[in-house]
Amino acid sequence: MPARTRQSPENTRPALILWGAWAGLLGLTIAAAGSLGGSLDPVTALLLTIDTHVRSGWPALLFLAASVGLGRSLAFAAPVRVRPALRGTAPAAGLAILLGTVWCLGTAGALGAVPLLIPIVLGIVALVAGSGGVRTVRSVPAPPGWLWVGLPGLAVLLVAAASPPGVLWASEYAGYDTLSYHLQLPKEWVTLGHTRPLSHNTYSFLPGAIEQAYAALGSLAGGASDGLLANGAWRLQAAHTLHAGLAVLGAVMVARLARRLALASGANRSGVRTASAIGGGLVLCTPWTVVVGSMAYNEMGVIVLGAGALLAACRRGVADEDVRTAVARAAAVGALVGAACLCKPTALLFVGIPAGVMLLRFGRLRHWGTLAVSGSIAGLLVIAPWMIRNAVMTGNPVFPLATGVLGSGHWTTEQATRFAAAHAFDGGLLDRLTMLVFADPNAGDGAAGVARYRGTTNVQWLLAFPAALAGLIVLAFGRRSRAVGVGLALCLAGQVVAWLAFTHLQSRFLIPCLLVLGPIVGVACARFGRNGLIAGAALCLLQAGALWTVFAEQRGGTPNALLGAPPAVFMGEPYAPEIGRASPIAYLNHEVRADAVVLLVGDATPLYLARETVYATAWERPPVLDLAAGLVHADLVLINNAELSRLRASGYLHEDLTPERLAQLVSAWRLVRAWPELGVRLYRVPTDGGEQP
């Protein structure tokens, strides 16, 4: 396609009008989504959403802007031979740079505002300098099609992300993973001043690049001095803004990928725009994107970096590519795959497979060996710091993974076996294939939808996978599109096989398939001109309809009950005695000594507990077993019997924490408070001084 020429002010004016119309429509849609099932009027809902993302999320907005700026500067400063591989990948490349920098600073114990500000400021300066300042306003393009198509999903994404952690969603059990490690680890890391692994929380041994970014946001906002729970715990909210922003960047990157593949399939200019609009729009409108994107999870980092890897792999004009250019392209792909693995190790399969397929598909056959070796080396170099750190600390470079082969570190054989069993599916091949499409026959009638439909037919996927299958059939009937379709089919098949063979079959684990689903549907729609655009937009609207329905059902039909509320509402603020009678966390935060040490039994979600806390995840040795021996100290012990029962029934509970052993320990303590409706009891541990906590 010809290079884009700078627009005159006369040509820019319609674009500015379109941007105004789009912003107005987004505002109306946010107002509608924010007033669902609650007492908020639409105007208040809109203002609360904006206020939350600006007032609490400003560190995240700076982080996102710096990522784009660093990516642009990398593309500009890279050697001429490397630049083609980086074309269009600025958000992904910049995110990789910034996440890697934060990871190294945190591991080195330099998690302070000043060291973190250096790459942030450099990125923002590069963004401003590269944009051309006022000249950009004079040459602004119209809103891209994916912003129009994806608008209903974007509105819910922003509204949902403006609720505190722990409010949404039912399929994620109101963010259990967020409360236990996605935000709990940043809370501890900010206090400690580093992001090194913690022996009581297994998940801290994972690469955790996104979680370390959450810690960085807290440090940038001044949380290093007084912790993330101070002043209403508003710093926690920035994590939601960052992950929602990554979801939007993911849609940007998938739209660009769909555009490039449409060009490769022979689509005309109108078809290319259609592919981009539908590809990116499908990402934003699919419910799973908004569910995880509005929480402090890590999947959206994988989408941004994965789409960047595929974009670098699919660049145009490789027919006459020499070996050095091929090496540069493979290195860029491998580095971005490695960065995705720093967000979530399973990206090695779910991003590495499609990126590898496309790298070879768009490479010359005689370069295949070189491409594979170069990409693998680059990816390994990116993840090497994590592997070295883990090898030094545990002897296993990928701990807590592959413990049966590479060693179990500080774990006993029982712990390693229990962790591996909990993260594997024990059915046969037929059972696995059944889970892909049909309901789990072992799930009870009362089981949640996410537990019953664990594959592609979960309602939060709706029509994404059937539409992709139809799209592959469409692509098979075009001479030039067939080659692209075969490549995309191999990518999707590789991801599905990885899901079947290497995961414990949860629908959420298929989210990286969006990297392929969006381009498949987008490129297929591009073959039908205006009719394809209409069909694709209708599909995205159906996806958005399912999203709005799922959102409206949250919290018993009141999804916005806590929209814009400070996270400290879960800490019991503002406090009243009746709140303490309903909430153990509120009671501990307000009715015990500030210096009391609380030990948790069964519960591993202490995010909102402001007292010094001793806890462990289910996979670590329960600290209560060491309490009587004096190996750990605690003034109070909070026992969650309901959670203990769940863990015991699931086979997750440590073998030494038997009911008899716990009863023996409890017999020496005094009951302080009980919450029978929650199955929670609080005990005081006798001390020589006799002071009451």
Q: What are the residue ranges spanned by the domains of the chain?
A: 9-133+145-400+409-554, 572-684
Q: Which residues touch 493 (CB under 8 Å, ≥6 apart)?
A: none
Per-residue model confidence (pLDDT) at position 1: 36
Per-residue model confidence (pLDDT) at position 168: 93
Alpha-carbon gap, residue 482 to 33, rounded angstroms: 40
Of the candidates 290, 257, 191, which has an alpha carbon nearest to the alpha carbon of residue 545? 290
Mean pLDDT of 53-79: 91
Alpha-carbon gap, residue 551 to 34, rounded angstroms: 10
- The residue that leads in pLDDT, 321 or 464, is 464
Mean pLDDT of 246-255: 97
Cα–Cα distances in angstroms (integers) from residue 387 to residues 9, 409, 610, 665, in the given order: 53, 13, 33, 39
pTM here is 0.94
Say what the alpha-carbon torsion angle 559, 564, 567, 571 is, to the nearest 10 degrees.
-80
- The residue that leads in pLDDT, 451 or 404, is 404
Per-residue model confidence (pLDDT) at position 3: 41
Mean pLDDT of 241-263: 97
Mean pLDDT of 644-650: 91
- The residue that leads in pLDDT, 16 or 519, is 519
pLDDT for 511 beyond 70: yes
For the stretch 178-193, pLDDT in tens is 999 999 999 999 999 9
Q: Could you give the angle at the alpha carbon of 639 between the alpha carbons of 633 and 641, nearest 5°?
A: 155
pLDDT for 451 beyond 90: no
For the stretch 77-88, pLDDT in tens is 777 767 777 778
pLDDT for 137 beyond 70: no
Alpha-carbon gap, residue 309 to 92, rounded angstroms: 8
Confidence of residue 284 (pLDDT cuts 50, 70, 90): very high
DSSP 3-54: PPPPPPHHHHHHHHHHHHHHHHHHHHHHHHHHTTTSS--HHHHHHHHHHIII
Looking at every residue in the chain, the average pLDDT score rounds to 91
Q: Are strands 612-614 and 597-601 parallel, antiparallel or unpaired?
A: parallel
For the stretch 430-440, pLDDT in tens is 989 999 999 88
Buried-state track 498-527, b at ≥16 Cβ within 10 A, e below 16:
bbbeebebbbbbbbbbbbbbbbbbbbbbbb
Two tokens at 676?
């029978």
Check if the beta carbon of residue 95 is closer than 8 Å to that of residue 339.
Answer: yes
Check if the beta carbon of residue 277 is closer than 8 Å to that of residue 536.
Answer: yes
pLDDT for 318 beyond 60: no
The gap between the terminal CA atoms of the chain, to the nearest Å, is: 72
- The residue that leads in pLDDT, 82 or 612, is 612
Per-residue model confidence (pLDDT) at position 13: 77
Of the candidates 601, 673, 671, which has an alpha carbon nearest to the alpha carbon of residue 641? 601
